[in-house]
Amino acid sequence: MTPIMARNTTTYYLDFLNSIIMKVLAHIKNFSSISDKLKIQRNLAKIMNVRILDSDMHTKVLTIICGNELALEQAIQELRRIGLPATFEVLNGQKRSRKMQPITVK
């Protein structure tokens, strides 16, 4: 395989991953303590295709990556179940435009 073909294949694969992986900001209203942070980490770790990138208690924002829309729905339900409802902002992902415009899910 020539270097040009390898680069094109890699670029195609990265474009494919960017089209299916969703980066999501969860704005959590009652996110104020370390115990809340640990509870969120413990419960979201159980969901396949959901990974926590960052959790900031000062801004009350949780940054997660979801592999598909089902994983996002499960994360929304799990946060509601543990008493920490959130407003979600999808930054990119499936069926979204390449302009990276935020979409708010309540």
3-class state of residue 43 by DSSP: helix
Average pLDDT over residues 100-105: 50
Q: What is the pLDDT of residue 18?
A: 55
1 pLDDT above the threshold of 70: no
Report how far residue 38's alpha carbon sits from residue 24's, in angstroms, rounded to the nearest whole number. Answer: 19
Average pLDDT over residues 83-88: 92
Q: Decide which of 55 and 2 is more confident.
A: 55
Q: Which amino acid, residue 1?
A: M
73 pLDDT above the threshold of 80: yes
The domains of the chain are located at 21-105
Q: How confident is the model at residue 95 (pLDDT cuts 50, 70, 90)?
A: very low
Q: In what order do the strands lie in the sheet with 86-92?
A: 50-56, 61-66, 22-28, 86-92, 103-105
Greatest C-alpha distance within the chain: 54
pTM for the structure as a whole: 0.68
Q: What is the pLDDT of residue 13?
A: 55
Report how far residue 28's alpha carbon sits from residue 20's, in angstroms, rounded to the nearest whole number. Answer: 24
Q: 21-105 has which fold? A: Alpha-Beta Plaits (3.30.70)
Give yes or no for a contact between 40 and 62, defined as CB atoms under 8 angstroms apart: yes
Which range, of 28-37, 72-81, 90-99, averages the lowest pLDDT? 90-99
Tens of pLDDT, residues 17-72: 555 788 999 999 888 899 999 999 999 999 999 999 999 999 999 999 998 889 99
Output the CA angle 88-90-91, nearest 5 degrees: 135
